[in-house]
Structure 1
Amino acid sequence: MSYPYQIRTFEDYQKAYQKSVENPEEFWAEIAAHFTWHKKWDRVLEWDFKGPGAPIVKWFINGKLNITENCLDRHLPFRGQQPAIIWEPNDPEEHYRVLTYQQLYDKVCQFAQVLKNNGVKKGDRVCIYMGMIPELPIAMLACARIGAIHSVVFGGFSAQSIADRINDAQCSVVITCDGAFRGNKDVPLKSIVDDALVQCPTVKRVIVYTRTRTPVSMIKGRDVWWEDELKIVETQGNPKCPAEVMDAEDPLYILYTSGSTGKPKGVLHTTAGYMIYTNYTFVNVFNYQPGEIYFCTADIGWVTGHSYILYGPLSAGATTLMFEGIPTWPDAGRFWDIVGKHRVNILYTAPTAIRSLMAHGLDFVKNKKLDTLRVLGSVGEPINEEAWQWFYEHIGKKRCPIVDTWWQTETGGIMISPIATVTPMRPSYATLPLPGVQPAVMDEKGQEIPTTEATGNLCIKFPWPGMFRTTWGDHERCRKTYFDPYPGYYFTGDGCIREKDGYYRITGRVDDVLNVSGHRIGTAEIENAINMHSDVVESAVVGFPHPIKGQGIYAFVICTHLDDPELTRKDILETVSRVIGPIAKPDKIQFVKNLPKTRSGKIMRRILRKIAEGEMENFGDTTSLLDPSVVEEIKQGRLAMS
């Protein structure tokens, strides 16, 4: 398979970008023509970012297709025996698995029939809570095959977090495993699901795959084994399970992300535009060549895994490698062992992982077979220059371009990034917008800065096919969060600098959302969890620079009584872990008597942010504070913790 729309030179990029801005409908229609459709679209685009029902975004209107036919069926005549998924297990002693396109197709059809046998139909929501095993993408594709909407929940989330997501999406089925392996830990997934389902009346069926052989409770009439259900399908004669014909704008999946309020929001992606955009960005950003082995280290529970382990690579007929474990187990050479073992050509990972591996030193890199690597990529947060240089020099051996990609759960795919082998690189810069992406830098007054050089808040002023359509069940929340701050624009929540040559540098979040290890966590969500502890009166959470995670979580906490601060600290961490999951546990907890508040009761977070960062001066105007002496008290407490 060749890619007629692949950008090969900087001149190609300039021409493609110009056309995508001047005539976006023609530009995307030409790319869409390379996919399999049951019925071609009537119109390419309808949109409104500003009106009363905003956002309204529809791509390829009245087009009919199924994403799995584009990820599987259309490849079978030419690449049926080519590896689609290579799976590397957590334990290096366990044998890896390879699924060809034909094998993956057969397994997806089988499991799609399992879902049908268990009452799942088009439009139903299915929650998937599994470890990083091939059955996870099989389950996702099986849902898409029959028109069910999948909602994958990251395996590190707690029972309460799962329950919140299941209830918001009104899921009828949960797909899980008995447990998962992650480094030297066994995660009891089914047990966590059981705890969640106590408060989830909509769930009628739980399908359980055997992975760890952990003893589990199987509830009669609700829980069934994946393997037993497959046997039933086999006795029915292994049906091919024809793909449900979907409208271009039918929902594909819901993925929950943190926001500036306590409740996670379900970001909804639809079918055609998302497929076309993930394919286009995958093929171009990574300069993917047919037959190459592509390794994205993300967890499929996050959007990176959806777009760049599954839908982007498979729609392009690529070989995608997924990994069950973590980069530092059994030692810090695990990634590089995988690269050598499977002769990986493209490696896409997170700055957090790179910084963590840097900290272990070069002994784990020495004598590793990294000669097949051709392209490196980073995702989740801007990569700092030190990590960029280490990655470039020691992993890429100064010959692999690094694509520092900026995008979000809501954007569906990469938005601003170098194109491998095409765009001149610059450490810590996302560089240039991809074709179809029209960024705008906004000033404090809400006006777009017209000059090339600009510093402000990053917005997007024109729709792109991969963008989300709404937040599930709450379109008003979508409008208020993303389209109200700058009417007529999508507000990303990130700040940026645009240089005179048009290169963009992302400077981080400008709202109450932290970027921890490349994952967005709302401060309000963490505060809500801390406040559930029986001794906590109030809390305020801010971010601070962290050498590995990028941003750490710093909590200022007021308690009713504090007999044993260390025990209370551990209790709060356990509370957060149970309510949200270990990913949201604060790195530092400082107990305080009061918080700096204005007379209207608003917490002055900018002061707390500076104190958390270790800056004890230049707090700006504090005259509006109800009690300015609070600041000095918190400063002294911070110094005592240092």
Structure 2
Amino acid sequence: MSESNEPVSAPTAYADVYRRSLDDPEGFWLEAAAAIEWTVPPTRALDDAAAPLYRWFPDGRMNTAANCLDRHLAAGHGERTAIIYDSAVLGTVEHISYAELTDRVARFAGVLRARGVGAGDRVVIYLPMTPEAHVAMLACARIGAVHSVVFGGFAARELAVRIDDARPAAIVTSSGGIEPSRRVEYLPAVAEAVALAEHAVGSIIVKHREGFATSLEDARAAVGSSTGSRWLDWDEAVAGAEPAAPVDVAATDPLYILYTSGTTGTPKGVVRDHGGHAVALAWTMANIYDVGPGQTLFTASDVGWVVGHSYIVYAPLLVGATTVLYEGKPVGTPDAGAFWRVAAQHGVRSLFTAPTALRAIRKMDPEGALAAEHDLSELRTLFAAGERLDPETQGWIGDLLGVPVVDNWWQTETGWPIGANPVGLEPLPVKTGSCTAPSPGYAVQILDGAGQPVPAGTEGNIALRLPLPPGTLTTLWGDDQRYIDSYLSAFEGFYATGDSGSIDEDGYLFVMGRTDDVINVAGHRLSTGALEQALASHPAVAECAVIGLADPLKGQRAAGYVVLKSGVAVDGEAGLQALLDDLRAAVRSTVGAVADFKQVAVVEALPKTRSGKILRKTMRQMADGEEHTVPSTIEDRSVLEALAPVLRTGR
């Protein structure tokens, strides 16, 4: 197999594009940059003077917000729908045109500018899934400010940590977020965070929402004048604001900071630039997601995560598409047919969600009856990312919808897919369990612990040869050395993804999970992803997790935890034991006796982050009796508390 790793059986379009992206990155990305409107077009693609800190389009100048908004108005598309705000929790739908969104953004940019916020200043955004999130992010980009979105509802102490790291001039927030069964008050957390933080925030701008207990006046009174912050009402501030025009920024200037968990407990602020980000996302919309001007993309994520940044906010607007902003859940608002209702009602062409959402839908509606109630004829492709898409779920949803189900794999740090099926370029044959092929621009290699390439089909460390393509992280906020130490030091000349996987003889990439999810049972290295795949193949299983526990004899042993599909009945203790025996047999027949898989339990739910990742590390630490910190991103702490006795006893 060639070093570039393109599938040898791939259609010519992909193979040629992929090879060119690695052989001639300068020409490839300068050509892609033509899709963006520049005030000063770049003459160079890559600046490697400070390698391994690379920069893209170093002599180019532009404005991201102008590319998302103003240029579409100038082209006569102001009446085209930019955002469909679909609030399942409120039962309302709002269509916002490009002209209206541009006006809202310009006016809110004027609010920020009037408060002294300018190019390079940071703004923390702590908002629910409402149009104000788009407006605030784009307003920052419009005036060259650097936004840092923190997931609405994060605990006050976690918010304070991010305030002290980013040192923002302003915070933009709301009364709160609405969940299917509760309302989450934001203002008490913001007030507490501002009081806890050492950094003094100049302005706090609050969008009022009806039905919340804490008012702007309550929040002001809670902190008094001790913080030096000025609290402003969003609507009042906008009413008196002068619209702000887009400012010219360097392509290499920072657009946003997005925090991701750090191994030391200190969050890492991933930095994305303006130029490379815009070029890469525009390229992916055409070539990976197959969505263009006037077509609709429904990304069922949250603006607090990288998927929301890239494919709810920036990428669709960069190409003049329509983006669905969905305030709701895959189940419970009102049922497991919520996604299908949204897709049918709004003529969605591509749907992008997390595997955990698909598993939740399958658990509640295993026969897929609710999908049959909606006309999904306009849906062309379903994309999944955020966690490994197990083959069982991939097959189920593909059969149900009758459209290609495309797993794509990437990270907060990369900002767009490392591996995907380029359906807009030329679709490749699907292999279940694979995210298909490395995306153009990514030189993917599988390395052993010593940094040497491994044979095709052999599992190892997934690494990306430097330089990374445009749109990936340029550094960590305020700490170049931490970026180098965290990502670039494990294998010389490579970015270490921290994930394990393999590339087969055809060049297809299989991602099995984090490298710390590989367990060693009596000298046999086993992927927990492979064990989970075996458990998920059982017809009663909706989702599952496997962790490696300390074992005095074998070093580690595998322990499995499964959630059953809705409606699956277990007949007493004898029925439960029969099911557990079936699950053990499934692993034995698929993985083999070397797994020595004996410990498995049925549980009500698995603890997850808000983005859908199962908290396997925390589960392992609890089961082994180790000290642990529950991540601030946990979706529902009560799930972990309910699971604790099972983790301690194994049953």
> Which residue of the partner structure matches residue 34 of structure 2?
33
Counterpart check, 1:466 vs 2:471: yes
Distance 1:512 1:351, change over 3 A: closer
Quick check: 281-290 or 249-258, which moved more? 281-290
Q: What code does the residue aligned with 1:223 have? A: W
Which of 327, 334, 346 aligns to 2:350? It is 346
Shift of 1:11: 2.1
Partner of 2:447: 442
Task: Note closer, same or farther for the CA distance 1:166–1:184 as it changes in structure 2 (3 Å cut).
Answer: same
Residue 171 of structure 1 and its aligned partner are, at CA, apart by 1.2
Deviates more, 1:39-48 or 1:203-212: 39-48
Structure-1 residue corresponding to 2:108:
111
Paired AA for residue 638 in structure 1: T
Match of residue 530 from structure 1: none
For residues 527-577 of structure 1, the C-alpha deviation after alignment (integer angstroms, 9 at most, x for no partner) is: xxxxxxxxxxxxxxx9966656563441545999xxxxxxxxxxx99x948
CA shift, 1:459, in A, is 0.5
Query: How has the CA–CA distance of structure 1 residues 213 and 225 changed in structure 2, closer, same or farther, with 3 Å as cutoff?
Result: farther
d(CA) in 1 for partners of 2:434, 2:116? 49
Report the equivalent of 1:323.
Answer: 326
The secondary structure found in structure 1 opposite 2:383 is strand
1:158 aligns to 2:161 (yes or no): no
Contact 2:30 2:44 in 1 (8 A): no
> SS of 2:506's equivalent?
coil
Report 1:64-463 matches (<5 A): 64-76=61-73, 77-91=75-89, 93=91, 95-200=92-197, 201-214=199-212, 215-216=214-215, 217-219=218-220, 222-233=230-241, 238-239=242-243, 241-328=244-331, 329-361=333-365, 362-394=368-400, 396=401, 398=402, 400-420=403-423, 422-449=427-454, 451-462=455-466, 463=468
- Contact in 2 for aligned 1:158/1:581 (Cα 8 Å): no
Instruction: Tell me if the contact between 1:496 and 1:504 (Cα under 8 Å) persists in the aligned partners.
Output: yes
Question: Bigger CA drift: 145-154 or 69-78?
Answer: 69-78
Q: 3-state DSSP class of the match of 1:330?
A: coil
Distance in 2 separating the partners of 1:590 and 1:305 = 30
The gaps in structure 1 that reach 5 residues or longer are 1-8, 517-522, 524-541, 561-571, 593-610, 613-636
TM-superposed CA distance for 1:495, in Å, is 0.4
Which residues in structure 2 correspond to 1:563-578 (within 5 Å)?
576=630
> Is the contact made by 2:271 and 2:475 (CA closer than 8 Å) also made in structure 1?
yes
In the superposition, the TM-score normalised over structure 2's length comes to 0.78
Percent identity over the alignment is: 36
TM-superposed CA distance for 1:453, in Å, is 3.9
> Paired residue for 1:600?
none
**Alpha-carbon offset, residue 55 of structure 1:** 2.9
CA separation of 1:558 and 1:410: change in aligned 2, threshold 3 A: closer
Shift of residue 365 of structure 1? 2.7
> CA 1:559–1:417 in structure 2 vs 1: closer, same or farther (change >3 Å)?
closer
CA contact under 8 A between 2:443 and 2:464: conserved in structure 1? yes
Query: For residues 39 and 321 of structure 1, what CA distance do their matches in structure 2 show?
Result: 32
Q: Secondary structure at the match of 2:316?
A: helix
SS for the counterpart of 1:61 is coil
Partner of 1:597: none
Task: Give distance in 1, aligned partners of 2:298 and 2:334.
Answer: 19
Gaps of 5+ in 2: 1-9, 519-527, 533-546, 548-557, 564-605
Structure-2 residue corresponding to 1:58: 55
| Change in 2 beyond 3 A, CA 1:324/1:543 | farther
C-alpha distance in 1 between matches for 2:348 and 2:644: 48
- Cα distance change of structure 1 residues 58 and 543 upon mapping to structure 2, 3 Å threshold: farther
Query: Deviation digits for residues 580-609 of structure 1, max 9, x if unmatched?
Result: 6545777368989xxxxxxxxxxxxxxxxx
Kept after mapping to 2: 8 A contact 1:410/1:468: yes
Is contact 1:554-1:588 (8 Å) kept? no
- 1:566 counterpart residue number: none
Q: Is the 8 A contact 2:153 2:186 kept in 1?
A: no
Task: Give 1:290 deviation, angstroms.
Answer: 3.3
- Please give the TM-score of this superposition, normalised by the length of structure 1: 0.79
Identify the residue that residue 587 of structure 1 maps to in structure 2.
640
- Amino acid corresponding to residue 262 of structure 1 in structure 2: G
CA distance in 2, matches of 1:90, 1:276: 33
Cα offsets for 1:429-465 (capped at 9, x unmatched): 011011111101111222233x444421001003200
The number of aligned residues is 541
The corresponding residue for 2:510 is 505
Q: Structure 1 counterpart of 2:283, which letter?
A: Y
